[in-house]
């Protein structure tokens, strides 16, 4: 069976690509890493107007979703352009609040659909909340309690300066409680992992595209280095990794859309494959670019730094493989 995007989904991807190309995300990333969130928030607003964050918000709360396939389409494009901010976390928060219900859902879900930036920390997924200092809200879940953190907390070191990690302050108002919170958190964790897989795939695609363009221009011994057999093989292996991850990502989207009992394992398989493929693309890009790949001035450095954090966020490859085996 072949899974193909329809014309509307492909047009959605093209429109996002055009918007983000015009936005010039490298300058936005540099500003975000320096603590200036205004350009990133402006871009976030344009993405919200395009319906990106409404994809995970139920229709009852002013959203369009949940629509996993369209979410994958959007996140691949956002990953290709390295859009800053807690994209996966905001989408997952839409699923979390939609499942938990209550006053917090009524207040925050329409705001998420309209472009609010939300960070998230779930028990079992590490102690950090991404870009909590730039978020309008930071939600944390421990057991059966969903809380609105009172503050972003202390920052921690991150391999990507445009992905800042924070330990949210303890306590905060209880937004929802009960067994439904635990189940909603499980679903939100799957969505965060799923969206991160799509971001990793898009990041890898851009790394490969830029590397292919570079090895056609860089010469050695009077010929383009892209003509060397070893370089061709490395690039071909990178392409294969990305192309094998793609059907797993969209297969997971179909499982999520259908509410399948195997959706969690499908998401884990997609996350492991896409994360590893994106990281392999970064290693290929760094080697193929040579010394220039290590420079801060190279725009591609932002993608190089992003690939490994995306590989490990919301499920390391080993944890994802263990979940696939358990499933």
d(CA 275, CA 134): 25
Euclidean distance between CA atoms 212 and 139, whole angstroms: 41
Residue 2 has pLDDT above 70, yes or no: no
The confidence score (pLDDT) of residue 295 equals: 84
**102, 145, 105: which is closest to 121 by C-alpha?**
145
Instruction: Tell me the C-alpha distance between 233 and 245, whole Å.
Output: 18
Q: What token pair was written down for 88?
A: 């996966």
Residue closest to 33 by CA, chosen among 127, 134, 138: 134
Would you give the distance in Å from CA 161 to the centre of its chain? 16
Share of the chain above pLDDT 70, in %: 99
Predicted pLDDT at 296? 81
Residue among 200, 235, 165, 193 at smallest CA distance from 306: 200
Q: If you average pLDDT over residues 108-125, what whole number do you get? A: 96
pLDDT per residue over 267-322, tens digit each? 999 999 999 999 999 999 999 998 887 788 899 999 999 999 999 999 999 999 99
Token pair of 64, please? 């369009």
- In Å, what is the CA distance from 274 to each residue of 158, 174, 240, 246, 251? 21, 35, 11, 7, 13
CB atoms within 10 A of CB 49: 13
Residue 297: the pLDDT is 86
pLDDT at 225 over 80: yes
Q: Using an 8 Å Cβ cutoff, are 94 and 140 in contact?
A: no
Give the pLDDT of residue 276: 98
Tokens representing 107? 């207040």
Over residues 83-110, mean pLDDT: 97
Q: Mind spelling out the 3-state secondary structure of 88-135?
A: HHHHHHHHHHHHHCCHHHHHHHHHHHCCCCEEEEECCCCCCEECHHHC
The pLDDT value given to residue 260: 86
Q: What is the mean pLDDT of the chain?
A: 95
Predicted confidence (pLDDT) at residue 117 exceeds the cutoff of 80: yes
């Amino acid at each position: 069976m072949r899974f193909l995007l329809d014309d509307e989904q492909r047009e959605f991807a093209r429109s996002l690509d055009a918007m983000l190309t015009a936005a010039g995300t490298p300058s936005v990333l540099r500003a975000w890493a320096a603590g200036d969130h205004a350009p990133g928030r402006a871009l976030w607003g344009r993405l919200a107007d395009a319906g990106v964050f409404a994809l995970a918000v139920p229709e009852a709360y002013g959203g369009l979703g949940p629509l996993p396939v369209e979410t994958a389409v959007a996140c691949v494009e956002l990953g290709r352009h390295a859009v800053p901010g807690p994209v996966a976390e905001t989408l997952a928060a839409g699923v979390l609040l939609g499942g938990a219900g209550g006053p917090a859902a009524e207040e925050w879900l329409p705001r998420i659909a309209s472009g609010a930036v939300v960070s998230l920390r779930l028990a079992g997924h590490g102690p950090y909340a991404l870009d909590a200092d730039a978020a309008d809200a930071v939600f944390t879940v421990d057991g059966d309690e969903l809380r609105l953190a009172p503050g972003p907390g202390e920052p921690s070191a991150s391999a990507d300066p445009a992905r800042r990690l924070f330990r949210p302050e303890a306590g905060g108002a209880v937004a929802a409680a009960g067994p439904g919170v635990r189940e909603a958190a499980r679903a939100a964790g799957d969505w965060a992992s799923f969206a991160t897989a799509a971001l990793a795939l898009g990041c890898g695609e851009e790394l490969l595209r830029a590397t292919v363009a570079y090895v056609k221009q860089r010469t050695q011994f009077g010929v383009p280095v892209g003509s060397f057999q070893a370089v061709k093989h490395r690039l071909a292996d990178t392409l294969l990794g990305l192309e094998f991850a793609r059907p797993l990502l969209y297969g997971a989207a179909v499982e999520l859309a259908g509410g399948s009992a195997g959706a969690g394992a499908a998401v884990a398989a997609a996350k492991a494959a896409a994360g590893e493929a994106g990281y392999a693309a970064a290693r290929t890009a760094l080697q193929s670019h040579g010394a220039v790949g290590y420079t801060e001035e190279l725009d591609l450095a932002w993608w190089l730094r992003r690939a490994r954090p995306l590989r490990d966020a919301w499920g390391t490859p080993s944890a994802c493989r263990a979940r696939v085996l358990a499933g």
